[in-house]
């Protein structure tokens, strides 16, 4: 099958992936300021979209990890073929949509890594993956980043509550406008990068670019735009669902958590660590929930969500692996893969329109993980 066709397919699917990434991550930054009233929904969503766009242009470290680090580039060039990258993307998108449909909070980023790894391993053997990069720039940060964010958020929350008196805390709302903006910016610097990395990888694999080079300008622009559009479209769903679910989060907590999230993401991006913004945001939220006096953690819920996270890389790897096996049968296999993938995507999309209950977002909110301090008793007594 003509390489150009595969490359075009990969670019198209990658941009779709980027779009869906923006779509379900808007909430990470904007749900809390909308909930506390710091920002009007339309403004929040518009702001998030613009900042993601800007953020995407700011740094290319993460893209380089994906395009040059993870998959080994052997003496004859990259050992992964464009077809395998296509399979990896299919694995990622399909798994991502399945978890979205089931309302499971999961990381788009991990789905992407899992997909690429699964396809590479099936198609080119274990040797094609650089273990060192996998561990140091993906796996360890995956665990360390949410913990860091949680600890930092916890401390920041304590400080915020210690230093201010009750009546002053409402003004944290104004601060939230800035911290949420920073989270969106940080998100753009980390997440749009991953798609750029994949597109660059396929261009290198197809020989259109030299090994070890960074993303081209058109790639950066296209990915930035895709994520911004996804962010903007995802916003409308938040507005519909927000009323029900956000529980006890005070502006001071939002401020602290968002500061922690931004700091962790930006520091990691700078070093080329590709991490899951959803998981970092969740870590911050748990940290801030605990930071407020008297809170306890709902370990069972946290546990369920943790399991969801753990299975993402293997699950998307399996889907991608299967796609790679099918693709290995020849051009017919590739066609089958693409057709089935598109059918699944369309099917999931149509199914979701039917069940309106599927508006849950994977937005990590304190209510999910943490029982806040009980106040009602005091009022009654």
Partner 1 sequence: MTIDWLAFVEVVAVALVSACFIVTTFALALRLGDGTAPWRRPVSVALYAVCALAALFGVYLIIPALHGG
256 near partner 1, judged by CB under 8 A = yes
Locus of tokens 């929904």: 41
Q: Contact with partner 1 (CB under 8 A): which of 20, 148, 180, 368?
A: 148
Q: Is 172 in the site for partner 1 (CB under 8 A)?
A: yes
As given in the structure block, the two tokens for residue 319 are: 């889907």
263 binds partner 1 (CB under 8 A): yes
Which of 131, 210, 294, 330 touches partner 1 (CB under 8 A)? 131
Cα–Cα distance, 205 to 199 (Å, whole number): 10
> How far is residue 195's CA from residue 220's CA, in Å, rounded to a whole number?
9
Binding residue (CB under 8 A) for partner 1 from 83, 195, 269, 278: 269
Q: Mark the segment that binds partner 1 (CB under 8 A) among 64-72, 102-110, 177-185, 227-235.
A: 177-185
Q: Find the part of the chain contacting partner 1 (CB under 8 A) among 13-21, 120-128, 260-268, 309-317.
A: 260-268
Maximum pairwise Cα distance, the chain: 77
Out of 20, 21, 268, 282, point to the residue binding partner 1 (CB under 8 A): 268
Kindly indicate which of the ranges 33-41, 85-93, 251-259, 336-344 contains the residues binding partner 1, using the contact rule CB under 8 A.
Answer: 251-259
Q: Which is nearer to partner 1, 267 or 335 (CB)?
A: 267
Nearest CA-CA partner of 114 in 266, 304, 322 = 322
If 0-12 CB within 10 Å is exposed, 13-18 middle and 19+ buried, where does residue 80 land?
Answer: buried
**Closest to partner 1 by CB, 113 or 154:** 154
Distance from the Cα of residue 22 to its chain's centroid: 8
Among 30, 66, 71, 145, contact with partner 1 (rule: CB under 8 A)? 145
For position 242 contacting partner 1 by CB under 8 A, the verdict is no
Give the shortest CB-151-to-partner 1 separation in angstroms.
8
The reply on whether position 165 binds partner 1 by CB under 8 A is yes
Helix axes 3-36 and 172-205, enclosed angle (nearest 10): 170
Residue with tokens 């009007």: 40
Among 95, 255, 309, 361, binds partner 1 (CB under 8 A): 255
Cβ proximity to partner 1, 169 vs 358, nearer residue: 169
The number of residues that bind partner 1 (CB under 8 A) is 47
Assign 3-class secondary structure to 142-153: HHHHHHHHHHHH
User: Which residues in 318-377 contact partner 1 (CB under 8 A)?
Assistant: none
Tokens in use for 163? Answer: 């230093």
Report the site for partner 1 in 39-98 (rule: CB under 8 A).
Answer: 58-60
User: For residues 56 and 224, is the Cβ–Cβ distance under 8 A?
Assistant: yes
Concatenated DSSP letters of 273-307: ----HHHHHHHHHHHHHHHSTT-EE-HHHHHHHHH
Residue range at the interface with partner 1 (CB under 8 A); choices 18-26, 28-36, 166-174, 353-361: 166-174
| Positive or negative torsion for Cα 235, 239, 240, 244 | positive
> How many beta carbons lie within 10 A of that of residue 371, not counting itself?
15
Which residues would be at the binding site for partner 1 (CB under 8 A)? 58-60, 131-132, 135-136, 140-141, 144-145, 148-149, 151-153, 155-156, 159-160, 163-165, 167-169, 171-172, 175, 178, 182, 185, 189, 255-256, 259-260, 262-264, 266-271, 273
């Amino acid at each position: 099958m003509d390489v150009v066709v595969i490359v075009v397919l990969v670019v198209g699917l990658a941009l779709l992936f980027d779009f869906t990434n923006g779509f379900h991550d808007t909430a990470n930054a904007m749900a809390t300021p909308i909930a506390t009233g710091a920002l009007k929904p339309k403004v929040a969503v518009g702001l998030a979209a613009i900042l993601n766009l800007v953020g995407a242009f700011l740094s290319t470290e993460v893209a380089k990890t994906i395009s040059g680090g993870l998959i080994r580039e052997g003496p004859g060039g990259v050992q992964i073929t464009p077809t395998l990258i296509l399979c990896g993307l299919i694995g990622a998108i399909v798994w991502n949509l399945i978890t979205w449909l089931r309302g499971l909070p999961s990381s788009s980023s991990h789905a992407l890594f899992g997909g690429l790894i699964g396809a590479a391993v099936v198609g080119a053997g274990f040797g094609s993956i650089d273990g060192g990069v996998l561990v140091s720039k993906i796996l360890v940060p995956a665990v360390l980043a949410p913990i860091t964010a949680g600890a930092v958020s916890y401390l920041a929350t304590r400080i915020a509550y210690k230093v201010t008196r009750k009546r002053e805390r409402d003004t944290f709302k104004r601060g939230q406008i800035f911290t949420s903006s920073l989270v969106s910016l940080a998100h753009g610097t980390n997440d749009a990068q991953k798609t750029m990395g994949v597109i660059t990888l396929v261009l290198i694999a197809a020989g259109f670019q030299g090994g070890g080079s960074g993303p081209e300008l058109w790639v950066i622009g296209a990915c930035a735009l895709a994520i911004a559009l996804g962010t903007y479209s995802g916003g409308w769903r938040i507005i519909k669902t927000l009323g029900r679910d956000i529980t006890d989060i005070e502006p001071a907590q939002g401020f602290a958590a968002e500061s922690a999230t931004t700091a962790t993401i930006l520091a990691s991006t700078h070093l080329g660590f590709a991490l899951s913004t959803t998981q970092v945001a969740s870590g911050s939220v748990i940290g801030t929930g605990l930071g407020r006096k008297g809170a306890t953690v709902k370990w069972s819920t946290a546990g369920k969500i943790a399991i969801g996270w753990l299975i993402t890389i293997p699950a998307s790897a399996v889907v991608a692996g299967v796609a790679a096996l099918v693709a290995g049968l020849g051009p017919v296999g590739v066609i089958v893969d693409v057709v089935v993938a598109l059918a699944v995507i369309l099917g999931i999309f149509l199914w979701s329109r039917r069940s309106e209950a599927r508006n849950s977002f994977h937005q990590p909110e304190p209510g999910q993980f943490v029982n806040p301090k009980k106040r009602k008793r005091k009022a009654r007594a």
